[in-house]
Structure 1
Amino acid sequence: MEDVNHKKQSFFTFLRPFVQQENARVSQERSFLLAIQTQLKVGQAISPNDLSEARQLGDAYNHELTSDAVTESWLDAMLLRVDMIPEELVLSQAANESGWGTSRFAVEGHNYFGQWCYTQGCGLVPSARGEGAKHEVAVFSDAAQSVHAYFMNVNRNRAYAELRDIRANERAAGQPVTGLKLAEGLHRYSERGQEYVDEIQGMIRHNKQFWQQG
């Protein structure tokens, strides 16, 4: 596509439904955890079904429920992880990491976020991979799976604890959770550190018209 704005709009239009789908899933999971938190505060017993669902969520977010009861400390830790990610941040990272969907990894592997895997044969071997390096770029069955993997990566990987803390602090202060603010917690997403953060924030600002359209 020669028209830049048309190219951007097409890319965002393609990926946005998958981002909305993930945020809807996370929102539902978060509502479940908040409901349990309310039950605990009023001394109401947690049903076996809810306990089972809580255990499954803990496993999914790498924060296992090790006891036979839900605790406030476990819920606090889970609510840091189980939360939405603003569309403008997700879409800006996807555009940046995939070259607006034109990279080899996006075209051949539906990987829009540059996510790695570490088992031989798990993905595509980068042509510029350094000597001795064993990582590959993950391959996904479709764009929906790629977006899901991104959400789980950001929401549970220790590397992005800063982003999750920023999100929780904004919520606690009654402030809207924005992509610009959360981008400050992405220093470890790229070896470029602050330069990468600045670039993503610049993309969010520059493409503001598309967030308003979305």
Structure 2
Amino acid sequence: MQLLKSGFRSGKIATFAGLSLAVLYVVPEFIDGARESHTQSTSAGVVVQSSRQDAFDLAKLDDILSRVDYRLDDIRRGEPVPRLYVEQIPVDIDSIPDVDERKNTFIKLVLPLILNVNEQIAEQRQRLNGLLQVKAVGKSLAETDRQWLEELAAGYRTDASDPFKLLDRVDTVPVSIALAQAVEESGWGASRFVREGNALFGQRTWASGDGIVPEERERSDTHEVKSFDSVAESISAYVHNLNTHPAYEDFRKARAALQDGPDMSTDSLGLAATLQAYSEKGLEYVNNLRNLIKTNRLQDFETAELAP
């Protein structure tokens, strides 16, 4: 469980550092005040909305997957990942009897969401690099670009006058690490925090009523596990936390060092060593992440891309 206060508040559509997740949602329909479960195809992909009265379960998921050509073996061979976006993990995912099938189902649902967040950050980074190149040759930025740069820096909790620090923060998180932490923190999506609050990464909050009270919490403690309106918001907050919190500066520096070396996918096991601060387990937590990455071949998804 993440030990450090995230400092975020979730809205219906979360925006972290200008990273809008609006593409993951369609406007909910209400009948007698209750939202219905439904699937809708949009320009962003297939969006699966959950219901407040009729929980998203495996039966609904099976119906959706039967209409989407999505096999992890194909993804491992380089096929694109379908843009399948779910708002929540099926509440009965732990009832899948076959362990491998349960794991594959979890990866299928979380992988497109991680890639979507990384895709948007990559677009930010590309624009940022272009603007920094303009400044490097002594040219002035257009007013719209200057304002965008300042807003981006503020969102990433740094100053636009420090381009190298900003570049260290505006960067993607290795897919294998994000998947491994989602697994470790959520128990392959079966935890109470996922069912009740879409909380994949165990981020804590000290704002009363902003999350879920852990059953094992000491009486003297006041923290809660931050809850989110969707799994996508949880992933966005997690990535933003790694990209901005002082506790993960070593992670960002190590990631930046890989930019000039081999592909990042070759050293996600090394990067995991910089995440001891994420859990009170420390080195044991790092070893757990490494074992998950190796045992489940999560590095196979490092270069995966979403379908056009």
Q: Choose from 175, 187, 206 the match for 2:262.
A: 175
**Cα distance in structure 2, aligned partners of 1:99 and 1:209:** 16
| Cα shift at 1:209 | 6.5
Q: Choose from 184, 199, 202 the match for 2:288.
A: 199
Deviations 1:138-164 (A, max 9, x none): 110011101101110111011111111
| Structure with the larger RCO, 1 or 2 (CA within 8 Å, 6+ apart) | 2
2:250–2:274 CA contact under 8 A, matched in 1: yes
- State the identity %: 33
Deviations 1:84-137 (A, max 9, x none): 111111011101100100100011000000011111111111111123211110
Give the secondary-structure state (helix, strand or coil) at the position aligned to 1:187. Answer: helix
| Cα shift at 1:211 | 2.8
Give the secondary-structure state (helix, strand or coil) at the position aligned to 1:137. Answer: strand
Query: Aligned letter for 1:17?
Result: P
**Cα distance in structure 2, aligned partners of 1:56 and 1:34:** 15
Pairing of 1:114-153 with structure 2 (within 5 A): 114-153=202-241
Query: Aligned letter for 1:207?
Result: N
1:27–1:84 CA contact under 8 A, matched in 2: yes
Query: Aligned letter for 1:190?
Result: S
* Distance change in 2, residues 1:22/1:97 (3 Å): same
Give the secondary-structure state (helix, strand or coil) at the position aligned to 2:242. Answer: helix
Instruction: Tell which deviates more after alignment, 56-65 or 28-37.
Output: 56-65
CA RMSD across the alignment: 1.5
**Cα distance in structure 2, aligned partners of 1:56 and 1:122:** 26
**Residue 182 of structure 2 corresponds to residue 97 of structure 1:** no
- More strand, by proportion: 2
Query: Aligned letter for 2:216?
Result: A
1:9–1:210 CA contact under 8 A, matched in 2: no
Aligned length: 206
* Distance change in 2, residues 1:114/1:15 (3 Å): same
| Structure 2 residue ranges without an equivalent (≥5) | 1-95
Match of 1:18 in 2: 113
Match of 2:164 in 1: 76
Query: Aligned letter for 2:192?
Result: R
> Structure 1 stretches (4+) deviating beyond 2 angstroms?
209-214
